[in-house]
Structure 1
Amino acid sequence: MTQAKPAPSGALQTVHVALGARAYDIVIGRGALAEAGSRIAQLAPGGKAAIVTDARVGALYGQRLADDLSRAGLRPTLVSVPPGEGSKSFPRLIEVCDAILAARIERGDLVVALGGGVIGDLAGFAAAITRRGLRFVQIPTTLLAQVDSSVGGKTGINSAHGKNLVGAFHQPSLVIADTALLDSLSEREFRAGYAEVVKYGLIDDPAFFAWCETNAEAIFGPGPARDHAVAVSCRAKAAVVARDEREDGDRALLNLGHTFAHALERATGYDGSRLVHGEAVAIGMALAFRFSAMQGLCPQEDAARVGVHLASLGLPTRLQDVPGGIGTAETLVEAMAQDKKVKRGELTFILARGIGRSFIARGVAAADVRDFLVGELAGA
């Protein structure tokens, strides 16, 4: 549950992910990147490190990190791919794996993911399969990656059949979440990441959701509220991952809104100019609460409260908010049939009995979802 007060400004916080032999720390706070060289060098003294990044992030922080690693006694190599969801693909995966091998990265060396969720997923998957498994470090540079995708060991790429359908569980050895790096994000990128912050309150922490409602403006600024939001989110995810590393049980709750979201991303062709992941999650969470209310599971007031809060921050909450449209209810339901949570062909959703009362709903009737989406598309 939510820590009562934010930590003092400037203080680094550490969240431990308790996974036995695969346990690791998440270091959170402004200026954490300054300690990256010394912390990473402790994992592989005198070794090599392949820094996987994208062209935009690499221009901002790539050489700085490489220099820090060099000073700490490591031998770094920079590997860059184009920014955007399109890099989560088989061609880019092959390119990154080949670059890691060309740098002669050995089993005792490291892969460092420097970037947002795309880079973390791509670099992590490359680390999982190159030389049958290399250790890797996450240095997430977006809010979404800091509070969600960098923690928990999910790595992968997209397929023509859907998002994240090819991948592996491969835990990092360390996560460094420097919240000062978020200063360089566009407002749109920050808003998109905020959707994943709010998610933790909606799952099982109504006090955190209420805190977000009160402190959203401060979270968007460079102060202790931002660090607090990241730390609470990481603690929540770490606790779930420690209980259910491979999503055999309640880790699926972390997918609140994602069944709808992944279908929307597929419907837009993963075109980030139209819809980025966090925006899709915002719509997905609003849909999950409205669908829950329609099913008589959740008070209408709670569903409305979720939509109002997300919309107040400029996040989309309706299917009509997606530029260019998203097709029909039938095409969205068809896309959901490829979701990783489908069991024996039956749809699984994360639904809610109220704010902070989410649950795993298995065997949801596709016809009910289709009828709901028809109404949503009609503006009901």
Structure 2
Amino acid sequence: MTPAPRTVAVGGDRPYPIAIGPGLLDEGPRLADPLRGRHALLVSDDRVAPLYLERVRRALQAARPDLVIADHVIPAGEASKTLQHFGATLQALAGLGATRDATVLALGGGVVGDLAGFAAACWMRGVDCVQLPTTLLAMVDSSVGGKTAVDLPQGKNLVGAFHPPRAVIADTGVLRTLPPRELRAGLAEVIKYGGIGDPAFFQWLQAQRDALLAGDDAALAQAIARSCEHKAAIVERDPLEKGERALLNLGHTFGHAIETAQGYGAPDNANLNHGEAVAVGMVLAARLSALLGMADTADTDALRDLLLAYGLPVTIPAGLEADALLAHMRLDKKNLAGRLRLVLWRGIGKAEVVPDVDESAVLAVLRGG
């Protein structure tokens, strides 16, 4: 018997539900319920679309025969999160004749979710978006909270908007087709939630490693729900990242610098993907915290050991220069008045935003790998 889906509510000025469970992409009424008009654009990538796009289209059409549905498929990978593909998505909305009550449905991982969400934010100054994440990383992070963006060569997510979705529908059944590397990348973001504010969850992740890496449905659903509950609570209190929400970026300033320095390569090459870069970034943030006297090195070791146990990288890839990484970090959106503003910690579960971080200490950590 299929268990009932879990639901996490995101509150605030624009509340929305997160549904988590297997088989949700086949539930036409659930997919159609957030749609207010008769135009729907399904945005996906060329890896996910062959697996799930027609399935979602059929379910939607069965529930709403009046819907006019079009699709827009982009190449898979971070290299597609560009202004050019953003413009092409807007052209797809124009071709559909999408009106102000149209809905963009983002079927894919974080790249699709960010790109489709940004297009929805800008079409006719804002139409609805429904997130249908197909990767663990997107389920626990990018699909929740309404941060949408595209990249520039100078840095990740520099052009974007806050645009909360109407709903997030996370079908955990699709994780069975997720490559092991992508599953591990998503687990890096799950581990982050334990690191920023939940030591008990951190311990649970230590105990549940085998089940999570094996793709156990119950363990994954629990990890996703716990992560979404943490993110939902923070987003509700700080929807526009004026303060507390920045804590969700533990490891991300370092990680984004690594991704930018790598050049957003194709997903199959040797470059780190987003989750892997965040894993390295979290270790660097923990090491910097210890260097600044904020935390014990034992906490760094515990984080490093857990990430290694999940098969994640913990050191900067060879060939990336410390000075270049620091230059990319200076473009981070959390910085104020040209000063580095980083998420560091005082140990597992005790993250905080630290302003005016000494660049020489950051360089020392970057040079140490």
TM-score w.r.t. the length of structure 1 is: 0.93
In structure 2, distance between residues paired with 1:100 and 1:326: 41
- Which consecutive aligned stretches of 4+ in structure 1 deviate over 4 angstroms post-superposition? none
In structure 2, distance between residues paired with 1:45 and 1:108: 6
Question: Structure 2 residue aligned with 1:296, among 293, 297, 311?
Answer: 293
Residue 71 of structure 1: aligned partner? 62
SS at match of 1:363: coil
Deviation at 1:43, TM superposition (A): 2.7
SS at match of 1:108: coil
CA 1:45–1:355 in structure 2 vs 1: closer, same or farther (change >3 Å)? closer
Residue 250 of structure 2: aligned partner? 256
CA 1:56–1:362 in structure 2 vs 1: closer, same or farther (change >3 Å)? same
What amino acid is the match of 1:278? G
Question: Structure 1 residue aligned with 2:15, among 15, 23, 27?
Answer: 23
Question: Structure 2 residue aligned with 1:315, among 312, 321, 328?
Answer: 312
CA contact (8 A) 2:36 2:103 kept: no
Superposed CA RMSD: 1.2
In structure 2, distance between residues paired with 1:368 and 1:170: 36
Deviation at 1:326, TM superposition (A): 4.0
SS at match of 1:364: coil
In structure 1, distance between residues paired with 2:257 and 2:10: 30
Query: Superposition pairs for residues 132-143 of structure 1, below 5 Å?
Result: 132-143=125-136
Q: Deviations over 1:7-28 (max 9, x none)?
A: x9723111000023x1100000
Question: What percent identity do the matched residue pairs reach?
Answer: 47
CA contact (8 A) 1:180 1:222 kept: no
Q: Deviations over 1:98-142 (max 9, x none)?
A: 011101111112110000000000000000001111101000000
Q: What is the aligned length? A: 363
Structure 1 gap ranges (5+): 1-7
Residue 137 of structure 2: aligned partner? 144
In structure 2, distance between residues paired with 1:167 and 1:108: 21
In structure 2, distance between residues paired with 1:307 and 1:266: 23
Q: Deviations over 1:55-113 (max 9, x none)?
A: 11000000111111111112211111110001110110110100111011111121100
CA contact (8 A) 1:15 1:234 kept: yes
Deviation at 1:218, TM superposition (A): 1.0
Residue 236 of structure 1: aligned partner? 230
* Residue range with higher mean Cα deviation, 39-48 or 79-88: 39-48
Residue 4 of structure 1: aligned partner? none
In structure 1, distance between residues paired with 2:216 and 2:91: 38
What amino acid is the match of 1:143? L
Question: Structure 2 residue aligned with 1:13, among 6, 13, 16?
Answer: 6
Deviation at 1:294, TM superposition (A): 1.5
In structure 2, distance between residues paired with 1:186 and 1:289: 28
CA 1:295–1:46 in structure 2 vs 1: closer, same or farther (change >3 Å)? closer
What amino acid is the match of 1:59? P
Residue 328 of structure 2: aligned partner? 335
1:350 aligns with 2:347: no
Residue 47 of structure 1: aligned partner? 38
In structure 2, distance between residues paired with 1:48 and 1:86: 28
CA contact (8 A) 1:120 1:149 kept: yes
TM-score w.r.t. the length of structure 2 is: 0.96
